[in-house]
Amino acid sequence: MIAIPAIDLREGACVQLVGGSYEAERVRVNDPLDALKQWLALGFRTFHVVDLDAALGKGSNADVVARLVSHAPGLTFTVGGGVRDASRVEAVLAGGASSVVVGTRAIEDLAWLTEVAERFPGRVVVAADVKGREVVTRGWTAGSARDIRDVLSALEPLPLGGMLVTAVHKEGQLGGVDLPLMEEVARSSRHRLLASGGVTTLEDLRALAKLGAHGAVVGMALYTGRLDARAVAREFTE
């Protein structure tokens, strides 16, 4: 399993939010490239970039994403946030991302998801943001009234690059991961699991690795120093 630093973009900066709330911003790095360089220096090579403004319809950080993805050869980026049409999927991948993360429209429009997944097999990752057991959309602001198990079942036949499952109720709180949720996803789905939300300790990462996760997205614990980033990179990079 690999650990994947999160680079969440808001108003051109790299931020970390508690529980996804814009009112609860805890970390801000004014130049996201500084964050990328810091993680690179420690040995990380795979990164998860999210345009929070685009996800909430409050703007775009596309220029910042382009700077990050083009910074150095040989790096792996998953890029998401407000990707809701095929042209944006194509643009993200053409811009150098290894995979594109689609959330809201993927959950709400299976026909559209099927179309883009078949057009770009293995390069579309579906973000299933889970609060309790309900999958939520639109930057975590809207409920879908759909249980995670129902969503997994619907997505099972598609040629996806993976499932990014975020435990929203754990996000940014440094309280540990939702292991029962992640274990259920790993057991129920053939798709690669990228687990997110609440990773706080090396033991959290080891537990996710043991249940079969392909990767774990780590944010707050790295940015606040709660996790020893060098130790994480040593144990959980390719």
Length of the chain: 238
Tokens of residue 192, six digits: 């690669």
What is d(CA 95, CA 61) in angstroms, rounded to the nearest whole number?
A: 13
129 is catalytic: yes
Phi-psi region of 127 (alpha: psi -120 to 50; beta: other; left: phi over 0): beta
What is d(CA 203, CA 31) in angstroms, rounded to the nearest whole number?
A: 31
8 A C-beta contact, residue 103 and residue 146: no
178 is catalytic: no
Residue among 8, 51, 178, 204 flagged as catalytic: 8
3-class secondary structure, 189: coil
Tokens of residue 117, six digits: 């997944």
CA distances from 169 to 58, 173, 177 (A): 23, 8, 10
Residue among 51, 53, 129, 204 flagged as catalytic: 129
- Active-site annotation, residues: 8, 129
